[in-house]
């Protein structure tokens, strides 16, 4: 665990790399991937009504140009006002290509979906979307129904209230007997008292990216209180590493990691946070990790929330590469 920590730690905060266009909006939840010579970021925008998913482009991982939307609001659908997307089937190798793989001739993403207006309002579920184009702001096609929902027959005690962010990898070795593995965070009840409680990270598996089944009868990350969520999976040598965030089981929100050899049993890091609030732009929350290594430098992207509840995307690095001049709009 100490070896992994030394490899992934990013003590140098570069600062904000993407902020909303005006003070009425918030940006959140970065997914970073590469196609050709360019880097791309899918991210979500909250405008007071709900979440939409957007795309940005970069050549250096630090300066980003917004391209447009990938998932937009719709009418009279189960996900009309919430479509927060996260790129799936990415090269998870530490220091790898970070390219996104096609399956069945398409690129894929999972998304947090719901019909209720507001910030993560109402009962949320997980949707699946696909596209033949990855690097352009074209509308992705959704399946038209949630693939994991609180109404499913295999709902567990820990996810029967609402379901949040998800991440999907393709395990070609079929460690769990299935090639597609999903980690998602959800809120349910504590056994055995049934009281509403923590947000935890759980698992699901699939053979076709559309039909999903929950795996196991307990969460894989559970701190009994507060939030544990927004997993991002990487593989360092023979170790699976799950980057995730914690909140409220100690003050504020912060990024952590856990390690596994089998994708099911995870050992939690008990040392220092990878990222925690320390700057004016992330003084409230520094959370929701996406961590990659490129050309010998580790980049830890995260959602930064300041004292005025403004949200943007920030990055910290393993080497000192200077400071950003980007600021939140007033």
Burial of 226 (0-12, 13-18, 19+ CB in 10 A): middle
CATH of domain 2-317: 2.115.10.20
Query: Do residues 70 and 50 lie in contact, with contact meaning Cβ atoms separated by under 8 Å?
Result: no
Model confidence at 195, in pLDDT bands (50, 70, 90)? low
Q: Is the pLDDT of residue 193 over 90?
A: no
For 96-116, write each residue's pLDDT tens digit: 999 999 999 999 999 999 999
pLDDT value, residue 151 = 94
pLDDT value, residue 289 = 98
For 256-308, write each residue's pLDDT tens digit: 999 999 999 999 999 999 999 999 999 999 999 999 999 999 999 999 999 99
The beta-carbon contacts of 304-307 under 8 Å, at least 24 apart in sequence, are 304/16, 304/279, 305/253, 306/280, 306/281, 306/282, 307/280, 307/283
pLDDT value, residue 190 = 73
- Find tokens 């390690």 and name the residue: 259
Model confidence at 197, in pLDDT bands (50, 70, 90)? confident
Give kind and range of the element (H or E) at residue 8.
helix 2-8
d(CA 244, CA 254): 9
pLDDT value, residue 257 = 98
The least confident of 22-26, 35-39, 164-168, 177-181 is 22-26
Domain boundaries, the chain: 2-317
Instruction: Count CA atoms closer than 13 A to 299's CA, side-chain side.
Output: 22
Angle value at C-alpha 116, between 113 and 120, nearest 5 degrees: 60
For 61-71, write each residue's pLDDT tens digit: 999 999 999 99
Share of the chain above pLDDT 90, in %: 93
The least confident of 60-64, 124-128, 181-185, 222-226 is 222-226
Q: What is the pTM of this model?
A: 0.97
Model confidence at 196, in pLDDT bands (50, 70, 90)? low
Query: Do residues 40 and 48 lie in contact, with contact meaning Cβ atoms separated by under 8 Å?
Result: no
d(CA 292, CA 285): 21
At 304, list the tokens.
Answer: 């930064």
Query: Do residues 275 and 286 lie in contact, with contact meaning Cβ atoms separated by under 8 Å?
Result: yes
Who contacts 192 (Cβ-Cβ below 8 Å, separation ≥6)?
none
| DSSP-assigned states of every residue in 237-298 | TTEEEEEEEEESSSSSEEEEEEEESSSSS-EEP-SS-SB---SGGGSSEEEEEEEEEETTEE
- Find tokens 């409680």 and name the residue: 197
The least confident of 170-179, 195-204, 221-230 is 195-204
d(CA 105, CA 12): 40
pLDDT value, residue 130 = 98
For 74-88, write each residue's pLDDT tens digit: 999 999 999 999 999
Give kind and range of the element (H or E) at residue 4.
helix 2-8
For 117-132, write each residue's pLDDT tens digit: 999 898 999 999 999 9
pLDDT value, residue 115 = 96
């Amino acid at each position: 665990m100490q070896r992994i920590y030394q490899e992934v730690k990013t003590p140098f905060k570069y600062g904000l790399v993407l902020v909303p266009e005006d003070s009425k909006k918030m940006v959140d939840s970065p997914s970073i991937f590469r196609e050709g010579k360019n880097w791309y970021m899918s991210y979500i925008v909250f405008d007071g009504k709900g979440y939409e998913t957007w795309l940005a482009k970069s050549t250096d991982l630090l300066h980003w140009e917004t391209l447009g939307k990938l998932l937009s609001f719709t009418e009279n659908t189960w996900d009309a006002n919430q479509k927060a997307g996260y790129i799936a089937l990415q090269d998870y190798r530490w220091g790898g290509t970070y390219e996104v793989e096609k399956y069945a001739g398409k690129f894929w993403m999972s998304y947090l979906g719901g019909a209720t207006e507001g910030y993560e309002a109402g009962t949320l579920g997980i949707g699946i979307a696909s596209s033949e184009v990855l690097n352009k702001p074209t509308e992705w096609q959704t399946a038209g129904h949630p693939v994991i929902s609180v109404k499913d027959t295999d709902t567990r005690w820990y996810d029967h209230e609402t379901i949040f962010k998800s991440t999907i990898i393709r395990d070609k070795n079929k460690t769990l007997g299935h090639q597609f593995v999903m980690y998602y965070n959800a809120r349910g009840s504590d056994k055995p008292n049934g009281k509403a409680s923590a947000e935890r990270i759980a698992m699901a598996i699939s053979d076709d990216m559309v039909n999903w089944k929950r795996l196991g009868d307990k969460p894989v990350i559970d701190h009994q209180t507060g939030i544990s969520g927004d997993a991002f999976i990487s593989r360092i040598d023979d170790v699976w590493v799950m980057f995730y965030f914690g909140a409220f089981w100690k003050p504020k929100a912060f990024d952590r990691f856990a390690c596994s050899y089998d994708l099911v049993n995870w050992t939690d890091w008990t040392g220092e946070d990878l990222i925690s609030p320390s700057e004016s732009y992330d003084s409230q929350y520094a959370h929701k990790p996406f961590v990659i290594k490129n050309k010998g430098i580790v980049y830890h992207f995260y959602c930064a929330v300041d004292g005025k509840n403004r949200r943007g995307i920030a990055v910290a690095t393993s080497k000192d590469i200077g400071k950003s001049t980007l600021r939140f709009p007033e």
